């Protein structure tokens, strides 16, 4: 059987990721982790190994906060969530954007923090 876990809280922002990360870093009292590419549309805030990641993402849609669920088998997890009433919205790069039966969007992604216990 496949495994999954809460992977990240993702804060979507219409402003650039670096500026948004400055605010959320101060608001949440967490350091912004270094990035290789300053034009990257993502920033990560410091978190402990047992906490979900906190990501800042520059987007073109209305800003919101969404969850990422990590799964060691994307298709199995998406199928499981569909059986619970979620629906597939779009496959983007390497992950599925889903919509819960309650209307919230979330993503199902590959493990971002190592193997899922």
The residue ranges of every structural domain in the chain are: 4-109
**Is the CATH number of domain 4-109 3.60.15.10?**
no
pLDDT > 90? residue 38? no
pLDDT > 90? residue 85? yes
Q: Which of 42-46, 72-76, 113-117 has the lowest mean pLDDT?
A: 113-117
- pLDDT of 86-110, one tens digit each? 999 999 999 999 999 999 999 999 9
Spatial distance between the Cα atoms of 43 and 35, rounded to a whole number of angstroms: 7
Cα dihedral 36, 10, 16, 24, rounded to 10, equals -90
- pLDDT of 52-68, one tens digit each? 999 999 999 999 999 99
């Amino acid at each position: 059987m496949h495994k999954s876990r809460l992977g990240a809280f993702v804060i979507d922002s219409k402003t650039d990721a670096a500026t948004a990360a400055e605010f959320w870093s101060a608001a949440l009292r967490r350091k912004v982790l270094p990035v290789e590419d300053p034009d990257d549309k993502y920033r990560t805030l410091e978190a402990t190994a047992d906490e979900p990641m906190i990501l800042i993402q520059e987007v073109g849609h209305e800003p919101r906060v969404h969850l990422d669920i990590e799964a060691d088998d994307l298709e199995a997890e998406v199928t499981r969530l569909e059986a619970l009433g979620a629906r597939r919205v779009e496959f983007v790069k390497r992950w599925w954007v889903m919509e819960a039966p309650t209307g919230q969007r979330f993503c199902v992604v590959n493990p971002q923090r190592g193997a899922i216990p």
